[in-house]
Structure 1
Amino acid sequence: MSVVSLQLGQCGNQIGHELFSVISDDSNGPNRKKYKQCSDDRFFYETSAGELVARAVLVDMEPKVISQAIAKASKSGRWRYGDKAHFSQKQGSGNNWANGFCVHGPRHEEAVEDLVRKEIERCDRLAGIFTMMSVAGGTGSGVGTYITQRLRDLYPNSFILNQVTWPYGAGEVIVQNYNSVLTLSHLYQLSDAILVHENDTVHKICSRLMNIKHISISDVNKVIAHQLASVLQPAYTADSPCHYSTNPIGELMSSLVSHPEYKLLSLCNIPQMSSTSLAYSVFNWPGLLKHLRQMLIASARMEEAPTSEVPPAAEEQPEQDVLDRDDIVAVKFSVKAPNMPYITEPGHPKCFPLEIGLTLMANKGPSAPEIIKLLDWQEETDHYIMVMERPFPCMDLLSFKQLLFEMVCRDFPIAEDLYMTAANIWTRPGLSQECCELICDCLQPKPKKRLALEKIHLHDWFKVMD
């Protein structure tokens, strides 16, 4: 079964070209005759001259990016785009979603629909329509949304999978938030599934895992294309262990979209590393699957080695790492001892490993900032995994600061004290304002808001004491 791709706007056309390049390169390896035949039939068609032509339609309101994509594909010598499978104009959409959806879309819908129809008619069997677009600009988001709406009306029984690229959080276009909301609100009603790639996450992959020093848009697009190819290319599945799957989009939908309202998808894959490092690496399926499971448990969007070690002080961390501390957890892997004790907990039918059970009991009741929270856990045959919050910075020494509270107030902090310190409104008769402010700063529930240990002696309270 064949997939018809629709590349919309600058982002969609650049990612689409990288995707077809990855697919072509992968299918031309040694001893891949059967794989190549299945892959070529899915993404390309062959001309009478023996050339492979991508089953794709290129749409943009400016001709520059489309011309570059067509030229690069022809230059590769392995595949090319169709001679008349593209549509462009001289004027763009100006990063205006309404301009693309209400003006350019209706004005050029017949031309685009005709191109898509010709590509679909070339397919013996259609697996679905795959669109690539950005949600931040005008053509990709506005025209892309309108074309998706028209395709849903024309092909109501065909699968439509939208790949959308989410803009950088720092901002690329001043109206990107409006464009993104308008695009998603429409696509959620029209598409069978929406596969989201976040530029910030892909940028981190390029920087931390691919070791790219000067990251370009092309580098980001290559990572996205690699991830897309990993799920769209032919593969053996549980339903077809002896031959390649025939309907990639349909199988993705049946496996991942369990309900019409649950259609936002994200994609994680491993290994992610530079080509030079990959050449000297050895992998096995059990190891890769275990690593993927760890990423799933830790809700990691990119491949990072989980650790339970104490992190360095904030001053030693790169600025980008410090900004991402809210996403970091501590994952602890413990091997089960032969006579490891278990514990029962009221209300639960099964026994827990002692460490997990005690941590769950400690987390019950009012939240205590000095007790690390257990976020998730998983028990296996020979080991168990604990996913816990990871305080930052770890040299905070909250217990020492709680001791300061006990020495000054002559009792332990209760829930009301913790609530008031979190709101910076805690006071106690007989204590100076500087002392109350110091205790509030020390007992903040969020670790990154607490006063660092090495800065306590600089607080105003110590100056007053002097």
Structure 2
Amino acid sequence: MSTVWLQVGQCGNQIAQELWHILGLVNGSCGKMDKNPFCSRDGKLSAICVDSEYKVIKKMQKQVKKGLFRESNLIIGKQGRGKNWACGYYNKPLNCEESLLYNTMERLRKEVELRDCYSGTVLFHSLSGGTGAGLGSHLCEEIRDEYPLGQILSVTVAPYQTGECPLQHYNVLLCLSWLQRYTDGVFLFHNDDVLRRTIASQGKKNLQDSRVLSQVSLSSMNTYIADCVAGLLCPVSNFQTASGLSIGVEPWELLRAVCPAPTMKFLHVAQTSTRGQVLWDSMVSSVTRFLAPESSTGDPHYSTSLLSVVRSNHCSLIQPQSSAMKRLQRAYGCVSWNPFPLSLWTASYDMRDSTGQRHSLTVCANHSSIIDLLKHTVEKAQKMYSAKAYIHWYRQYGCEGKDFEQAFDTLSSVETEYYSARE
């Protein structure tokens, strides 16, 4: 009950909606507060849904009628943001009270006032969309300024490297730099990685077959991301009181576990699950299957900290010093200078199946693979910027050269921090 959930743009709203479905909240019933810390005392979901277009938000009207969402928390603009970060960040109507930014911050203020104790905001959005990246960046800045003691966790998605939009490298550059400056942690999902893991979870083996790739729906990929978020943020046994009641959702405990250094906050998240008999070593092999062992330059990847969340009625069989957890640490390349790189959280059942038939392993790592995305983004954006490609599309909304230069400097400093943290 200390967290506000903020869904921004098409991608952010779709992922969050999948999350509410996984948690069984789409029927409009939050149930007891100790079992559903995602809701307020009145049983309404503590979520604000924002988009510059109507098509995604309108699907949530059914949940409003069922009593899950407050209708006033559905905030809709009158036109899209053209997949342009500057349009999403700077574009304001003449009447301030009609702006998405103003209306969203007003609803956030009212949600904060409903909290017993406001601890922070979880933001769902994308890195490449005009609303998700641009407005999402501005909201992070405003929330940090308005509630400096509250923490901000971003759940965001990077586009395919092969390209989704001609402006995506600029959008990713600018959004990542804003997230670095104003958030406390970022669950960073890559569409390429999510696609591979979604295919594998469906039991398909030929990951290079174009026919197999085309059969994977966007909804399936969103479900995988939402599964990972639920696996990390649902209550666990480690944070139960003596009476057996959960103290609530733990995104802030998670950030303390995996983001000990404020300059290194980009987190790699992966999950695997099985039904029936569970073999933890096999699940570790599955979750680390697509983990890149080294960077594009040949340097071994490493993790400064690692969180493993096990949800199973057999979780008592797995301990921090077990062979499966040691294997997990080796696969993620935990640094030697951290004496306690692994945190293990457990829950007696998986949120998707309370009968105990489903077992899941979710891993969150402060992993150096972010360097590859940073280098790719900076190199592509720098080439475009040097050629002055599409710059006028940003300047027309007020985005100046200093925004780009500051973004280049910010991401370069992040890359340096990750290199220097190597053992």
Q: Which residue of 2 aligns with 1:215?
A: 216
Whether contact under 8 Å (2:83, 2:129) holds in the other structure is yes
In structure 1, what is the equivalent of residue 340 of structure 2? none
Q: Which amino acid aligns with 1:12?
A: G
| Greater Cα offset, 61-70 or 101-110 | 101-110
Within 2, Cα distance between the matches of 1:387 and 1:46? 44
Q: In the aligned structure 1, how far is the partner of 2:249 from the partner of 2:19?
A: 18
**Per the alignment, do residues 28 and 37 of structure 1 end up closer, same or farther by CA in structure 2, a change over 3 Å counting?**
farther
| Contact 2:18–2:222 under 8 Å retained in 1 | yes
The one-letter code matched in structure 2 to 1:10 is Q
Moved more, 197-206 or 130-139: 197-206
**RMSD of aligned alpha carbons:** 3.8
Give 1:74 shift. 4.9
Distance 1:301 1:138 in 2: 30
Q: What is the TM-score normalised by the length of structure 1?
A: 0.56
The answer on whether the counterparts of 1:14 and 1:69 sit within 8 Å (CA) in structure 2 is no
Residue 180 of structure 1: aligned partner? 172
Out of 266, 269, 288, the residue aligned to residue 267 of structure 1 is 269
User: Is the contact between residue 127 and residue 248 of structure 1 (CA under 8 Å) also seen in structure 2?
Assistant: no
The alpha-carbon deviation at position 211 of structure 1 amounts to 3.9
The corresponding residue for 2:38 is: 43
Query: How far, CA to CA, are the matches of 1:210 and 1:28 in structure 2?
Result: 29
Task: Pick 1 or 2: higher relative contact order, CA cutoff 8 A, min separation 6.
Answer: 2
Alignment of 1:312-461 (within 5 A): none
Q: Distance in 2 between matches of 1:247 and 1:207?
A: 29
Query: Is the aligned partner of 1:101 residue 2:81?
Result: no
Match of 1:205 in 2: 197
**Displacement of 1:235 after TM fit?**
0.8
**Higher CA-based Rg:** 1
Letter in 1 for 2:136: G
Cα distance, 1:80 vs structure 2: 2.2
> Which residue matches 1:61?
52
Aligned position for 1:6: 6
CA deviations 1:305-340 (Å, max 9, x no partner) are xxxxxxxxxxxxxxxxxxx9x9xxxxxxxxxxxxxx
Indicate which of 135, 145, 160 corresponds to 2:137.
145
d(CA) in 1 for partners of 2:138, 2:330:
43
* Structure 2 unaligned spans of 5+: 205-211, 299-320, 332-423
Report the equivalent of 2:234.
233
**Paired residue for 2:246?**
244
Q: 1:270 aligns to what SS in structure 2?
A: strand
Contact 1:127–1:249 under 8 Å retained in 2: no
Give the superposition deviation at 1:104: 4.1
Please list every run of at least 4 consecutive aligned residues from structure 1 whose deviation after the TM superposition is greater than 3 angstroms: 25-29, 104-108, 238-243, 290-296, 298-302, 379-382, 384-388
Residue 21 of structure 1 is matched in structure 2 by 21
- For the pair 1:154 / 2:146, whether they are aligned, the reply is yes
> Which residue matches 1:112?
104
Aligned residue among 188, 204, 229 for 1:196: 188
Aligned partners of 1:381, 1:206: CA distance in 2, in Å?
A: 26
Residue 89 of structure 1: aligned partner: 77
Q: Partners in 2 of 1:74 and 1:259 — Cα distance?
A: 40
Q: TM-score, normalised by structure 2?
A: 0.61
Question: Relative to 1, partners in 2 of residues 1:257 and 1:240: Cα closer, same or farther, differing over 3 Å?
Answer: farther
% identical aligned pairs: 27
What SS is found at the alignment partner of 1:133?
strand
Unmatched segments (≥5 aa) in structure 1: 303-323, 327-378, 389-466
The one-letter code of the counterpart of 2:127 is: V
Contact 1:196 1:264 in 2 (8 A): yes
- Cα distance in 2 for partners of 1:168, 1:141 equals 15
Distance 1:165 1:84, change over 3 A: same
Query: Which whole-Å deviations, capped at 9, do the CAs of 1:144-195 have from their partners, x for residues lacking one?
Result: 1001100000000001101111111221112111100110011101000011
SS at match of 2:71: coil
